[in-house]
C-alpha cells in the first residue's frame, strides 16, 4: 500500500525498478520507525471503502485532541470525497486536530476547505490545526 501511495514521487527519478523498490522499502521502514518512536501509542488503521482496502491512516489520540500523523488513499480512491469523509469523521470525534502537510501536497487545499488553519511553516512542511467552534 505504501508503494502505491508514494510511487508518483519516485517515478520521475528514472531508476531501474529493482532500485526503486529498494528505495521505497527503505522509506517505508524509516517512516515506520520514526512514527513508532515519536508516537508509541498511535493507532494504525487500514481504510476500507465498500469492503475494499482503500488506504491507511495513523492517528494519535490524546483525550479530545487528535494528531493526524499519516493518511493516504490509493490512487483510484482519491478525488471522490473519500478523504473528506474520513476527515469529517475525525472532526466529529475531536475538539482539536493537528497535522503536518508538505507545502506542495494537494491535500492542503482539502484541509483548508474543512476549516484547518496554518499554524507554523517549517519548510517543506506546514503545521495545520482544526478546532471545534
What's the whole-number average pLDDT of the chain? 91
Peptide bond into 8 cis (omega under 30): no
Q: Is the pLDDT of residue 3 over 90?
A: no
Across the strands, what pairs with 128? 99, 118
Q: Tell me: the pLDDT tens digits for 87-100?
A: 999 999 999 999 99
Instruction: Please count the other Cβ atoms lying within 10 Å of the Cβ belonging to residue 25.
Output: 12
Report pLDDT for 21. 84
Banded model confidence at residue 5, pLDDT cuts 50, 70, 90? low
Q: Is the pLDDT of residue 128 over 80?
A: yes
The span from the CA of 58 to the CA of 52, in Å, is: 18
Across the strands, what pairs with 12? none
Banded model confidence at residue 130, pLDDT cuts 50, 70, 90? very high
Which has more confidence, 130 or 1? 130
Across the strands, what pairs with 57? 45, 71
Q: Tell me: the pLDDT tens digits for 7-45?
A: 667 667 777 888 888 888 898 899 889 999 999 999 999
Render the burial of 98-130: b for 16+ CB within 10 Å, e for the rest. bbbbeeeeebbeebeebebeeeeeeeeebebbb
Q: Tell me: the pLDDT tens digits for 38-85?
A: 999 999 999 999 999 999 999 999 999 999 999 999 989 999 999 999
Amino acid at each position: 500500500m505504501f508503494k502505491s501511495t508514494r510511487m508518483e514521487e519516485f517515478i520521475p527519478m528514472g531508476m531501474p525498478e529493482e532500485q526503486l523498490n529498494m528505495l521505497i522499502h527503505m522509506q517505508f521502514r524509516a517512516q515506520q520507525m520514526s512514527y513508532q518512536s515519536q508516537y508509541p501509542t498511535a493507532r494504525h488503521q487500514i481504510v476500507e471503502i465498500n469492503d475494499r482496502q482503500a488506504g491507511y491512516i495513523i492517528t494519535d489520540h490524546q483525550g479530545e485532541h487528535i494528531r493526524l500523523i499519516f493518511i493516504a488513499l490509493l490512487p483510484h480512491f482519491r478525488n471522490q470525497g473519500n478523504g473528506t469523509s474520513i476527515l469529517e469523521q475525525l472532526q466529529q470525534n475531536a475538539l482539536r486536530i493537528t497535522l503536518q502537510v508538505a507545502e506542495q501536497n494537494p491535500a492542503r487545499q482539502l484541509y483548508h476547505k474543512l476549516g484547518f488553519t496554518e499554524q507554523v511553516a517549517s519548510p517543506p512542511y506546514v503545521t495545520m490545526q482544526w478546532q471545534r467552534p
